[in-house]
Amino acid sequence: MGKEEASLSETDIPALLVIDDDKDIRKIVKLTLTRLGGFHVIDVASGEEALEVIQKRRFKAVILDMCMPDMDGEMTLRALQQMPNMQKVPVILLTAHASSSLPKDLEVWGVKRILEKPFNPIELNLHIKEILTKE
């Protein structure tokens, strides 16, 4: 298979999308889900970047930080759910705040789990596998 064929088929493989403004969190999540879970992971630093990337490929699930500058997690989540190709994609929220302060209608927006920071990366991998098994 030629290099051009490989790159074309890679964009057709559903991946996990990690959206977090913290570079270290993105690195830990990507490393864990790649090595332990065997997933293909794409990470971006903002909601705006996520909306661009989603135009180019399919995703199995999204891991989304709620507290980001400019376009925060809730704004990003609502924008994702307006995109037909993302409406059924499960979302795991990462938050540094108590889950009681989050909007009540999150399940309507595709949220399957909420993990508080600091979180155990190994548990994140297990949550992803469990969610994808149910989908």
pLDDT in tens, 60-79: 999 999 999 999 988 999 99
Which phi-psi region, left, alpha or beta, contains residue 116 (left: φ > 0; alpha: ψ -120 to 50)? beta
Q: Give the tokens for residue 87.
A: 């409406």
Q: Give the tokens for residue 81.
A: 């759910």
pLDDT in tens, 30-46: 999 999 989 999 999 99
What pLDDT does 17 receive? 97
* Residue 87 CB coordination number (10 Å): 11
Mean pLDDT of the chain: 85
pTM of the model: 0.85
What pLDDT does 95 receive? 86
Domains, the chain, ranges and CATH?
3-134 (3.40.50.2300)
pLDDT in tens, 116-128: 888 898 999 999 9
Q: Which amino acid is at 3?
A: K
Compute the average pLDDT of residues 86-107. 77
